[in-house]
Amino acid sequence: MKITYVVTRADPIGGVQIHVKDLAFAAQAQGHEVTVLTGGHGPFVDALRAQGTPTVTLRNLIVPIGPVRDPLALREIYGLVKRLRPDLLALHSAKAGVLGRVVGKWLGIPAVLTAHGWTFTPGFPEAQAAVYRRVERLAGPLTSKIIAVSEFDRRLALEAKIVPADRIVTVHNGIPDVPVTLRADPGRVPPRLVMVARLGAQKDHPTLLRALAGLVDRPWGLDLIGEGPLLGEMQALAATLGIADRVRFLGQRLDVDRLLAEAQLGLLATNWEGFPLSNLEIMRAGLPLVATSVGGTEEAVEDGATGYLVRRGDADMLRDRIARLLVDPALRTRMGAAGRARFEQHFTLDRMVAKTLSVYGDVVSRSSSPAPARSTSLHPATTDDTRAT
């Protein structure tokens, strides 16, 4: 198959970007012809280039919705897709998903959207959620198939009437394995805690820091991996709570695997999610995990077996579950081993790739021969609008 991936942002290395990078590489390894279209420049483009994935950067595909840049981004995508003429458009992230589906409809190319958590999921600001829900309903008829990364998100889409049940399927995220040398030792003391998450409104660093402020009588240290607009605010909060000397703000890192291997307990305090890769990374390392029960988290974490699930914003419950693991190295070891076994059974990259490519192949085989492009005022993007990398 000729597959063109479209993803909105190149500047972060978040779950969406990691997913596309790994999936594109695996598809290429199986003989498929892959191109990635993405907005701007950043470490995502560097990573794609390093693995040999053909990539084109778009000047106008940016995150804020805008009446000027969005039509220009639509024109860029249209021109490139018309030139590439793929068998399938594989779309990731909200804006790329909408624009890509419009282009797919115009050019008669089937479009598969992978929904990495809906922007109308519980916990998302309601005013914005209502707008995005309406947009997804309008774009739904343009979609050949939706891949939901969790059963929670599949049900949410059906409740919102985005597409009929026969056009949405669940494929849980999967990630590549790591060598045995990058497996953690959860029983080691004193325990080091780690959370991999962008410092923004989606994640709930404040609740985590408040929970840990009540555990200063016990030995622990916390690594926060990620960057974002709330960095300064979270550093100030840690100082106010008297735990600044216990918390390391490490920024965006490319050695997350190594940092997880050095930890004893994984955390994810958050307000909303799809099916976060950071949870899988923690399980892959053999760490127990304490995570907020939102989105598809409970489909990864078995409460009481591989870790604990806690209510959103509940600092007392989060503190209690962390405390149980801080004082019991044997419990950490047991839960970490169970999480590692669950990763091996359900969340490997090979498993996810096989299921995803099966969906792609089914969509392509069911689609009719590509129809000629209908008359439109848009024209192929020129070399001034795009930069091949």
pLDDT tens by residue, 127-180: 888 999 999 999 999 999 999 999 999 999 999 999 999 999 999 999 999 999
pLDDT higher than 90, residue 11: no
Q: Which CATH number fits domain 2-175+349-388: 1.10.287.1260, 3.40.640.10, 3.90.550.10, 3.40.50.2000?
A: 3.40.50.2000
Lowest mean pLDDT of 55-59, 240-244, 334-338, name the range. Answer: 55-59
pLDDT higher than 80, residue 234: yes
CATH code for 180-346?
3.40.50.2000
List the chain domain ranges.
Answer: 2-175+349-388, 180-346
pLDDT confidence tier of residue 10, bands split at 50, 70 and 90: confident
Token look-up 């609740």 returns 207
Write the Ramachandran bin of 295: left for phi over 0, alpha for psi from -120 to 50, otherwise beta.
left
Assess contact for 291 and 267: CB atoms under 8 A.
yes
pLDDT higher than 80, residue 340: yes
Sheet holding 145-148, edge to edge: 168-170, 145-148, 111-115, 88-92, 2-9, 33-39, 55-58, 386-388
Q: What is the pLDDT of residue 370?
A: 47
pLDDT higher than 70, residue 90: yes
Q: What is the pLDDT of residue 9?
A: 83
Q: What is the pLDDT of residue 41?
A: 86
Higher pLDDT, 34 or 371: 34
pLDDT confidence tier of residue 288, bands split at 50, 70 and 90: very high
Asked whether the domain spanning 180-346 has the same topology as the one spanning 2-175+349-388, the reply is: yes
**Cα–Cα nearest to 265, from 305, 312, 322, 227:** 322
The predicted model scores a pTM of 0.89
Q: What is the pLDDT of residue 39?
A: 92
pLDDT confidence tier of residue 381, bands split at 50, 70 and 90: very low
Mean pLDDT for 218-237 is: 97
Query: Which tokens go with 84?
Result: 């590439």
Higher pLDDT, 360 or 381: 360
pLDDT confidence tier of residue 389, bands split at 50, 70 and 90: very low
User: Strands 55-58 and 386-388: what pairing?
Assistant: antiparallel
The proportion of the chain whose per-residue pLDDT surpasses 90, expressed as a percent, equals: 84
Q: What is the pLDDT of residue 368?
A: 62
Assess contact for 316 and 293: CB atoms under 8 A.
no
Q: What is the pLDDT of residue 254?
A: 85
pLDDT higher than 60, residue 383: no
pLDDT confidence tier of residue 211, bands split at 50, 70 and 90: very high
Q: What is the pLDDT of residue 371?
A: 47
